[in-house]
Amino acid sequence: MQSPIKFFAGSASRYLAEEIVKGYNKSQAEMHIAAGNSTDTLQQYELGKSSFTRFSDGEFITSLDESVRGCTVFLIQSTFPPVDNLFELMLMIDAAKRASAYKVVAVIPYFGFARQDRKDKPRVAIGAKLVADLLTASKVDRVMTMDLHADQIQGFFNVPVDHLYASSLFVPYLRSLELDDMVIASPDMGGSKRAKAYSHFLGCDMAIAHKSREKANVVGEMMIIGDVENKNVIIMDDMVDTAGTVAMASDIMMEKGAKSVRVVATHPVLSGPAYERINKSSIVEFITTNSIPIKEGKSDKIKVISICDLFGDIVNKVYNFRSISGSFII
| Alpha helix stretches (DSSP H) within 81-225 | 84-98, 127-137, 167-176, 192-202
Q: How many helices (H) and strands (E) does the chain have?
A: 8, 14
Distance of alpha carbon 272 from alpha carbon 123, whole angstroms: 27
Residue type, position 237, single letter: D
Inter-residue contact 266 to 310 (CB < 8 Å): no
Distance of alpha carbon 113 from alpha carbon 153, whole angstroms: 10
Query: For this structure, is 121 an active site residue?
Result: no
* Integer angstrom CA distances of residue 123 from 92, 118, 119, 126: 32, 11, 8, 10
Q: Count CB atoms within 10 A of the CB of residue 316.
A: 21
Residue tagged active-site, from 97, 139, 196, 211: 211
Cβ contacts of 123 within 8 Å, gap of 6 or more: none
Inter-residue contact 208 to 225 (CB < 8 Å): yes
DSSP 197-261: HHHHHHT-EEEEEEEEEEETTEEEEEEEES--TT-EEEEEEEEESS-HHHHHHHHHHHHTT-SEE
The residue among 317, 316, 314, 270 whose CA lies nearest residue 289 is 270
Inter-residue contact 228 to 205 (CB < 8 Å): no
Distance of alpha carbon 289 from alpha carbon 166, whole angstroms: 8
Q: Is 211 exposed, middle or buried (0-12, 13-18, 19+ CB in 10 A)?
A: middle
Distance of alpha carbon 282 from alpha carbon 262, whole angstroms: 9
Mind telling me the catalytic residues?
211
